[in-house]
Amino acid sequence: MVDASKDVDGSFPGEKKITVVFVLGGPGSGKGTQCANIVKHFGFTHLSAGDLLRAEIKSGSENGTMIQNMIKEGKIVPSEVTIKLLQKAMLESGNDKFLIDGFPRNEENRAAFENVTKIEPEFVLFFVCPEEEMERRLLNRNQGRDDDNTETIRKRFKVFVESSLPVVEHYDSKGKVRKIDAAKPVDEVFEAVKAIFSPFNVEAV
């Protein structure tokens, strides 16, 4: 149950500000993998919009079938649904630092999140990786995802280029994008990520 006495961004008036980093990049660029590392080192809570939507399907929610169909087609679920899930997860976490992975995925996601929560991201961590490498990774992922097949992967790439890259460009024009070469091995990618997160270094491991 969401605490209605709090502000929309989950804080009480005068409470410490919420820090949000959006983590974007093509399907299979390694967002989830690197977020797990960031959580361990920098004390952020990782919220993957895709994971929250998949959990919503499993929960038997009334939106489950709609979400399942959209994910199979690589389409973007209406912002209202995804933002409610993100807000609930933020409030329930008790944390004030969030990695929001795979969101905002299009202009509608971006504008709606800004309007509803009034939160501006600290920065956008953007993983850059060639499509051939991302496709290879997704086809080898073996997590039983309905959308990790060649047909859906191609649709996801198209949506990424047409709908998600403009969001990255929006934040780039505000000087907020931190670009990472994600085609390198996991450890090397994390070295580059660590350099960006060093200001958040509370208890480095």
Ligand X SMILES: Nc1ncnc2c1ncn2[C@@H]1O[C@H](COP(=O)(O)OP(=O)(O)OP(=O)(O)O)[C@@H](O)[C@H]1O
Which residues contact ligand X (rule: CB under 6 A)?
25, 27-33, 50, 102, 137, 141, 185-186, 189
Shortest Å, Cβ 51 to ligand L45E5XJ5? 6
- Are the C-beta atoms of 23 and 99 separated by less than 8 Å? yes
Quick one: which segment of 5-13, 34-42, 102-110, 167-175 binds ligand L45E5XJ5 (CB under 6 A)?
102-110
Q: Examine residue 27 and tell whether it contacts Mg ion (CB under 5 A).
A: no
Quick one: which segment of 30-38, 157-165, 166-174, 181-189 binds Mg ion (CB under 5 A)?
30-38
Give the CB-side neighbour count of residue 39, counting CA atoms within 13 A: 17
State which H helix or E strand residue 181 sits in: strand 177-181
Q: Examine residue 98 and tell whether it contacts ligand L45E5XJ5 (CB under 6 A).
A: no
Name 101's Cβ contacts closer than 8 Å, sequence gap at least 6. Answer: 23, 31, 32, 35, 46, 47, 48, 49, 50, 51
* Partner that binds at residue 30, options ligand X, ligand L45E5XJ5, Mg ion, none, CB closer than 5 to 8 Å by kind: ligand X
- Are the C-beta atoms of 78 and 27 separated by less than 8 Å? no
Beta strand 19-25 with 123-128: parallel, antiparallel or unpaired? parallel
Report residue 139: phi and psi, to 5°: -75, -15
Rounded Cα distance, 40 and 114, in Å: 28
Looking at beta carbons only, is 112 or 192 nearer to ligand X?
192
What number of chain residues touch ligand L45E5XJ5 (CB under 6 A)? 18
Applying CB under 6 A, which of residues 38, 76, 89, 125 lies at the interface with ligand L45E5XJ5?
Answer: 76
Q: Examine residue 32 and tell whether it contacts Mg ion (CB under 5 A).
A: yes
Shortest Å, Cβ 120 to ligand X? 23
Strand ranges (E), 33-171: 45-48, 97-101, 123-128
Q: Examine residue 34 and tell whether it contacts ligand L45E5XJ5 (CB under 6 A).
A: no
Rounded Cα distance, 182 and 26, in Å: 10
Q: Examine residue 23 and tell whether it contacts ligand L45E5XJ5 (CB under 6 A).
A: no
Q: Examine residue 74 and tell whether it contacts ligand L45E5XJ5 (CB under 6 A).
A: yes
Applying CB under 6 A, which of residues 18, 23, 24, 49 lies at the interface with ligand L45E5XJ5?
Answer: 49
**Contact set with Mg ion (CB under 5 A):** 31-32
